[in-house]
């Protein structure tokens, strides 16, 4: 009976928490790291909101903040990696944790690159496409937010990971649909006279959607790690 109760408890606590008393500092670093990943996506959303509204100055200011969030995430990622190896922490989960940290960093990289591409190329967002662009940004950010919730659950409450992963896949699928709709409108419209500008709209739709694509890529890796920890 006691064994069954222990198994049940472990199942709800994440098959035994990854972190113990020795790794509290590491746990806090990873939590802060995930906050920076969230920030990079949210700040990109704020930056693009300003861009779509024609406020290029505020867009550039927010773009700097995106870059700063990505830099902080990158610095913390290196610190986490060094701590795990130098202090010989979580040996049983080291590979999974490092893999998740490395791949999650790609999300912040994408946010930084999207902001940079908008800043450099300054695409003209046609009014009839503005709603789709705004919606694409919104659902892509939601995919990232659900991903960071899933990663946090992986370390603390394994049984809750799947509910967040399901939402990552849902929002990524929504992003794909919006991206497709946006590109079709761009190429079918008579309002865009130059083919190169149609391609420009397609390109930036794909860049924004990559935020959700990267989130789903990490989610796929996370789902494998969950299975490994459940065996």
Q: What is the CATH number of the domain that holds 106?
A: 1.20.58.220
| Closest of 140, 144, 123 to residue 69, by C-alpha | 144
Establish if 14 belongs to a structural domain. no
Residue 5 lies in a domain: no
Q: Confidence band (pLDDT; 50, 70, 90) for 3?
A: very low
Mean pLDDT computed over 155-173: 93
Cβ atoms 225, 150 nearer than 8 A? no
What is the model's pLDDT at position 227? Answer: 84
> Is 58 contained in some domain?
yes
pLDDT in tens, 52-110: 999 999 999 999 999 999 999 999 999 988 887 776 656 666 778 888 899 999 999 99
CA dihedral for 210, 212, 214, 220, sign (positive or negative): negative
Is 124 in contact with 197 (CB distance < 8 Å)? yes
pTM of the model: 0.88
Residue 9 lies in a domain: no
pLDDT of 91 reads 60
Cα separation, 138 vs 142, whole angstroms: 6
- Provide the residue range defining the domain that includes 141: 21-230
| Residue 146, in any domain of the structure | yes
In a domain? residue 12: no
How many angstroms separate the CA atoms of 70 and 23, rounded? 24
Domains in the chain: how many in total?
1
Judged by average pLDDT, the poorest of 3-7, 16-20, 39-43 is 3-7
Residue 213 within any structural domain of the chain: yes
Residues 6+ apart with CB under 8 A from 169: 216, 219
Q: Does some domain include residue 41? A: yes
């Amino acid at each position: 009976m006691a064994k069954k109760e222990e198994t049940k408890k472990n199942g709800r606590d994440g098959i035994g928490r990854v972190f113990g008393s020795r790794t509290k500092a590491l746990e806090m670093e990873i939590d802060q790291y995930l906050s920076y990943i969230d920030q990079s996506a949210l700040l990109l959303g704020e930056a693009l909101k300003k861009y779509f509204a024609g406020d290029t100055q505020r867009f550039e200011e927010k773009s700097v903040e995106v870059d700063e969030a990505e830099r902080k995430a990158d610095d913390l990622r290196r610190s986490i990696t060094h701590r795990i190896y130098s202090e010989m922490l979580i040996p049983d989960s080291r590979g999974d944790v490092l893999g998740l940290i490395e791949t999650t960093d790609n999300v912040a990289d994408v946010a930084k690159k999207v902001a940079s591409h908008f800043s450099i190329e300054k695409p003209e967002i046609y009014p009839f496409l503005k709603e789709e662009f705004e919606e694409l940004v919104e659902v892509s950010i939601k995919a990232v937010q659900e991903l960071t919730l899933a990663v946090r659950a992986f370390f603390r409450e394994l049984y809750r990971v799947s509910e967040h992963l399901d939402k990552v896949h849902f929002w990524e699928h929504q992003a794909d649909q919006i991206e497709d709709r946006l590109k079709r409108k761009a190429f079918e419209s008579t309002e865009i006279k130059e083919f190169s500008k149609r391609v420009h709209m397609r390109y930036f739709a794909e860049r924004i959607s990559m935020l959700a694509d990267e989130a789903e890529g990490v989610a796929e890796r996370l789902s494998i790690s969950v299975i490994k920890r459940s065996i």
